[in-house]
Structure 1
């Protein structure tokens, strides 16, 4: 097969099927009919002399050689976009489609805050939002399935660039009428480890809560699959948990005041005492992570600056100076 028989459009089809694992949804994304997309991929497979996909009646899988071809196809498409950006003078700008994801415990509460300024700054940008766990998001980012992710820092940044945005404190979520609700002060030392409710393994918030409380990975005997389930376990009187501020604010108007309530008055939230001397209360630093090789690096830096200039209420912007 020579280069004249290879089109960028064919590569877009292949990458879409690889990402969606479905020919119909891939055709919708590419704005073509499914028969046309399938025929072009078959034609490309015949020209290359290999099968890119393992097709069954229930799912589509990449073959081992197909994985290598798709990885290279992503690189080719990224470089083609860079070429077009050079031609029209928009190199580095945020244009076209931006695949932005966030961890489960952040996305639903942060997206409503950042979408208005983001849409105002880049009205022509097509946003594709998603959620996931830290490990899977970083894998998708490295493989080119995502353009940027919002998550808790630090993370392993081999081949990636992480920019801190803001510090989000944790609140204590406890059942209404709990003994800690009337305590004059609140610190992590006041928590009973046997009452601590956690997310299941794989959630970074679980690890952050354990680290903040000085507990081992085996700490806490009751686990929840998601943050909203965790909140309702507190409402049911099963125990207490550390709740990110944005998640607390997003529930029934709860905020950062000392006696705010949620879930129909069954859950109370209160902040931990600030230690002072520049020491922050328990919490997490939220950052934006992107590939170091992304041709839209300038635009993604502008995005990070925008989010840092206008952090969500109750959070604190993180001072950051770039080396690049």
Structure 2
């Protein structure tokens, strides 16, 4: 029955029978038959059907909640049994917001030193996608904001405060300053993350409050590397978190200037599903995050 519940989770992710079947590595007729068999076992319709997927029934939504718990527990059980025999072995998937990607290595590197048979996949996603992927068991953990928008039912480990800097060349407007205000930053053409990113929503709110208008960046991207590569030319400016700017590296002519008035700080942390028992792989990840939090304090 676990495999049929995995089918249901795949359908919740893809919202399409063909794509969900491909994700599960089976043909679409086999996939559809599996969903139908699950409905027969439970005695209720789970999926609204026509020629395509229309959504889940009310009963299907409740079964989906149980499927997440049962499949998560099944995976955790297998991990724990394997860990008793061979130590931690497996694959961890972590989704991180773009501004926190550079910090992931601070967790994965010491983790791998202790557990060399664990492999990692790191994905760049926005904060809303991270929560959805956690819920649907697509990732094991996320690195995201903890205090700006609702997180739902997750466990979290606070890692570090995100503080903002104006990145600009020394010969650009305000490039010779020791600090700038958000009102001053609002007058500069900026390259920023795309509006679907929570960092952009935070910056938009700060700039609107300070400058009174809607920010109109000269360049948008969902990649911090793209933004930083433009700023490094000396012809662009951007607002970036301090730790990210320091990690990417500043050139001789590129300045990272604190933005004040108002002082804006948001907490970045690790989030994992709020489930008991926690899988051994996830528990070890949380332990490393706590070690990092102490080191960064």
- The answer, yes or no, to whether TM exceeds 0.5 is yes
The alpha carbon displacement at 1:163 in A equals 0.7
Cα distance in 2 for residues equivalent to 1:83 and 1:309:
25
Instruction: Report whether the alignment pairs 1:270 with 2:256.
Output: yes
Residues 186-232 of structure 1, C-alpha deviations (whole Å, 9 max, x = no match): 24368342226354544321344357679369655314353556557
Q: Is the 8 A contact 2:162 2:268 kept in 1?
A: yes
Please list, as runs of the form range in 1=range in 2, the aligned pairs for 1:208-223 lying within 5 A after superposition: 208-209=202-203, 215=209, 219-223=213-217
Please list, as runs of the form range in 1=range in 2, the aligned pairs for 1:69-218 lying within 5 A after superposition: 69-84=63-78, 96-107=90-101, 109-111=102-104, 114-125=107-118, 127-142=120-135, 144-154=137-147, 156=150, 158-174=152-168, 177-183=171-177, 185-188=178-181, 191-195=184-188, 197=190, 198-199=192-193, 201-209=195-203, 215=209
Judged with a 3 Å threshold, the aligned counterparts in structure 2 of structure 1 residues 201 and 218 are, in CA distance, closer, same or farther, namely farther
Secondary structure class of the residue paired with 2:174: helix
Decide which structure has greater helix share.
2
The alpha carbon displacement at 1:120 in A equals 4.0
Task: Identify which of 275, 282, 287 aligns with 2:269.
Answer: 287
Residues 86-131 of structure 1, C-alpha deviations (whole Å, 9 max, x = no match): 66675xx965443321123333x34566554444444444544433
The alpha carbon displacement at 1:16 in A equals 2.0
Judged with a 3 Å threshold, the aligned counterparts in structure 2 of structure 1 residues 126 and 166 are, in CA distance, closer, same or farther, namely same
Judged with a 3 Å threshold, the aligned counterparts in structure 2 of structure 1 residues 122 and 33 are, in CA distance, closer, same or farther, namely farther
Q: Which residue of 2 aligns with 1:226?
A: 222
Secondary structure class of the residue paired with 2:209: coil
Residues 263-292 of structure 1, C-alpha deviations (whole Å, 9 max, x = no match): xxxxx3424399xxxxxx865432101223
Cα distance in 1 for residues equivalent to 2:67 and 2:292:
37
Cα distance in 1 for residues equivalent to 2:236 and 2:161:
26
Instruction: Report whether the alignment pairs 1:302 with 2:284.
Output: yes
Provide the aligned C-alpha RMSD in A.
4.3
Q: Is the 8 A contact 1:99 1:147 kept in 2?
A: yes
For structure 1, the 5+ residue unaligned runs are: 1-6, 261-267, 275-280, 320-324
Q: Which residue of 2 aligns with 1:318?
A: 296
Instruction: Report whether the alignment pairs 1:53 with 2:47.
Output: yes
For structure 2, the 5+ residue unaligned runs are: none
Cα distance in 2 for residues equivalent to 1:214 and 1:12:
45
Task: Identify which of 11, 18, 23 aligns with 2:5.
Answer: 11
Q: Which residue of 1 aligns with 2:240?
A: 243
Q: Is the 8 A contact 2:143 2:271 kept in 1?
A: yes
Q: Which moved more, 1:49-58 or 1:14-23?
A: 49-58
Q: Is the 8 A contact 1:45 1:51 kept in 2?
A: yes
Secondary structure class of the residue paired with 2:99: coil
The alpha carbon displacement at 1:150 in A equals 0.2
| TM-score, length basis structure 1 | 0.67
